Structure 1
């Protein structure tokens, strides 16, 4: 049996091992998104909060099938009586028998122990010795006293003489004896009633105990199946939650590792990239402005020569202009005309921005915007870099996790020992059914015998009650003892029958009470009472004191495993692992530490650091940097804008051609000859046609100003852009690996955090839910309750009730004999006859018929013959 129990315990421990193993191998990570799908999602979810804090919430374990074991039987109204019996047993043995029990369990020869230590045992168990001695004395002396009493009665002694002397106190004594006998009879009736009710519980208690045992054996497979169901739920559905979360995080490693790296570098890289893109736009604006200025200068320079030639021709034409003498206004105007201002003023041939435009075009040929966008794309693709470069390392992690998953989910299939235990329990169940069947078959006869024994005592009670009733109803104070009625005499006879029956049955009852007292009382005191909760003293002082479970389960380990404490823990809803301290068999903490259990996984996750290379991220190529530097040294910033503006501000001619033309037009309007007017208007028209070139000069000046404005901060901006770009690239190269390392470390902690969360969950459910040993406590309570509080209480209640009755046997016999003398019809004594003759009332023998003394009936005193003081009055009774 012990081997089977050990197998059962080891089976559970194996289950616990698999749970913790599964914990150890289940490390799943997910982001703040619920992980798992299908049945896994219903089994729980994992989320990640601030600081990569992993939190997994798992669904409650399936409750499984219900158990058959019910609550222990309740004694009901007999509980107080049973408590009195228990108190009596505890009174006769105040101390405990743990030392003897431990010696017996330790293999000590009990017979030799008793023989060698009987004196000390007698002192320790003096209560049992006294009760046993009293029982034996009662058993031996009652028949002897009965025999002597019968002989004494037959000799006319001990109340056997059928004469009673009437005295004044006779009525008082009769009342006293009647009351005492009635009280004794009531006590005996109470005892026999309680004994009878207890005996009626014997047969149901045997059946109940059998049912409890069968229910217990039926609940063990149920317990195992429920535990297996919970186990499968943990290693499949709940493990899949963690597994899926880990796989999801592994697939999202680019985002989970790359985004923190990108965020750490973005403070420097994003502004640098944006500055390059802005610089490209600025240079484009400068390029456009240069091109416009260059085009304007080209147009202006091409038209400046023609303008000079035309202006010279107009000056010469005006200088050669002659007027007819008859046209005085013309002559006067011509004489005062000053053409010295008609000379070209601005020299545009020296204005050249071709080299600057070439420098800008060289920069633009590199396409800074495209380079910046390319750098931004590479920077934004850090997640992709992480994902691509860590593919080989991740594949190893996935392979290991798949192996773990296969191992974990195959663990329930390796618990074949459970099936063996279930088969063994099935055999026990059939054996229990046979035993219970036999017990039910023969217990009914035991019940009949108990009822018969109760009826023996009940017969005495009925005799006493009948005697009291007949005697009290049939007697009168005025009746002399020799003149008592038949009813009164019947009452006395009933009392004497009760006394005689008590002598006949007392020894038999004492034998039965004595045997049951020793068996039931010892079991009650040394077995049942110490097994009661909440202390379970018998278990604590025997099995636990020798560390029986620790030695059996932990292989002689120093670990103390307490069965009593385990039962207490089971009462609070703990799992069997925690309740019985089975960590000595399987230390879950060794499996729940995922980081130490699977160091390779941590190493593989950290290998991502070495595989991620950010050296390919470039914000500006070396060519782009060189072009920007050359442009910064000889580009737009090298243009002498003051020279440009001075030349454009000189104007096209030394005089204002528009005003000059207006003056000519005014003067021409006053010419009297039309020919003069026509010639002057032609010159004016040529002059006005040349004024269109002034707009070109204005455009050049405007474009020069625009270019000047754009180039004011361009040099500093280019320097800043180059500095920021180089600093950002340096940060990527110097800080990038460190950021990758910290991000990978956080990522590894996140992934391993799922294992930590699942491991803690497994530890919690193994401690408090898996294999909930509340049914162990319930089976224990039902077994102890039904065996002790039902069967043995009914057995002990039976002998206690009979013993209670036997305690009142002697008072019943004493008062019965005494009271019978007052109820039975007595013979007249000599005093009655002497008083009759002394009064001279005897009429002579001839007045009365003579009868044969041997054959004739004995006369009785006539009714009117009664005591008058010390004399008798009336005719004397017939003596023959």
Structure 2
């Protein structure tokens, strides 16, 4: 079987190989990978750098704090954007009613009331505490048992420590947010004039920049002209490369065909010779088997034969199993393939290879004149690019636009400087008050530590009893500082809260959800002096929201300002006529493939003989039926061995000798005739299986799935006739690929021009970028840390109240306590039977 697979290997690959050879030209004709990718062109920027980079606040650990403050402000200010109130304030400020403002600011009014109560009660409580301390009436005696006193003391110290930790966290956050506000104020203020300056130069020198854009068409033009210098050799090599796999696969398939034909004919001859020998041998074998069967029948049926019944049954099977007279004859097929293969396929393939390999040298010679015409076409410039700058409309509002922006820029600088100056004052005040809160925290922590140290020393009054007293005094210092600075703290908190809260709820929230743009777009909301269309000198009113949305998408400025009818950029960038001219020149490329012959006349005759041979029509299953049968139905070897044993077991010596003779005769028959027949059957099996596998593959390979209209010779003839057309088709496709590849350079230029004009030279992205950056600067970088600062400072301010209470309550436990037994018979001691514990006055 291994030898069969080796012989059939070229046959099995033959069909697929030739089918690929016939179909491969069309598959590869549309591929352009052999040309290589087009280079990436780098153009010099023609526009000034006016693209505003978006400002984004980097994520940080304070984002959750900012979100919390925003939710708090949303709860404080539940009213929507006051469009009517703002319109009245902008157009007729005197008509604004105080009750409307108070109604809108109801949440802030409630907060103002809370701040006012804090401002009144905390200093008042501090004054009362000072008076109480002056009269030495604060503190009192501890009247509980020592165990209960320890429990109360531990509870108060725990609450004081927790309150101090909350204050510490709040003051740290207040320090950080205060610093963030201060750090962001300077860059944010500097970004305002830079943004206005970028907007002012938005339409400056646009025609000159368009002219510079048009001049850079020479960059792809020079590159294409350089590629055309070697286009003849490149396209010739491309044609050879595209056809190479097809021709080589086809010639390899033809070479495999010759080998397959030779192998098939050899197997067919072996099959025919083996059949003749088998038929002749079966005639002699059949006679010998008949003689032995009759003799054994007579001997094994004698009454004196002992144990012969089973052997008799086997002896009756001494007859031929396979009948090779019933298998199909192959003489006609062998006769039709007489002398095949006549052609020397190896020499033929080598000659065709030499002819085909000369194609890359001949093709460039035939395309030299066409390449010259192509260079002339490429050297010209498209008409639209010549008028790119000339047809750009004169923008009458450009000077007014620049004037307005310059005026805004100049007027904003003093305000920005003042804002930075006041921010510096606010930062100093914030740092001072945060330091005060931090001082209270330090007093609480130091007082707690010294107090606990002093308590631990009460077990041994001989040393360190003054520590507890010092800790109590330090706690009182923190209490005094808290009372002293409560008013400045709440005032700073409320002022920053009022400014930052309204900035967030009135401006930032409406700016982010688009209500501010809708307010500006609504006619009558803004004074006539603030009308943007009038300032720009436009004939039609534009929607700020729509303009903003278009600008964010990168729309050109003239489209946003409704100037599309006066300038059509795509018409100037249309290069269809330029490309059509180049394509027409490429159509003149030609290549001659008539000299390439694929199959010799002898090969034609071999294919014709194979077509009419009927090799695939042989009924191979008939062979397999007989091959699978045994030569003799009964195993002659086993029967002879059984007869020898049976002869030795007979009591009748004469019968035993006769059985011994029959056993010897069967052994000789097996050696002389049965075994040679089995070897011939095995030889026949190899040839039949090889032909049964090769014949259908050959038929599929050359008859294309048993299509009767296209035989072997027709397909080869068709291939030879269509090969020049295929080569021309590949040439056209490769020329188109070359054109597309070169047009990529022009497409890169067009795309660059479109991007340069619409996104840089004449884009309103700086407008939307300025609005977005303004919102980010005002809301994300200033308002958020500003609001987080007062939130944290308010946090600390209100937590000073429990800090004061717990500090006062805790401090009296840090004084040294003297215990004495009372000998009086007062009602107090006699009722509960406990000693009176007297502590020092606070």
After TM superposition, the score normalised by the length of structure 2 is 0.46
Q: Which has the higher contact order (CA 8 A, sep 6+)?
A: 2
Which is higher, the Rg of structure 1 or of structure 2? Answer: 1
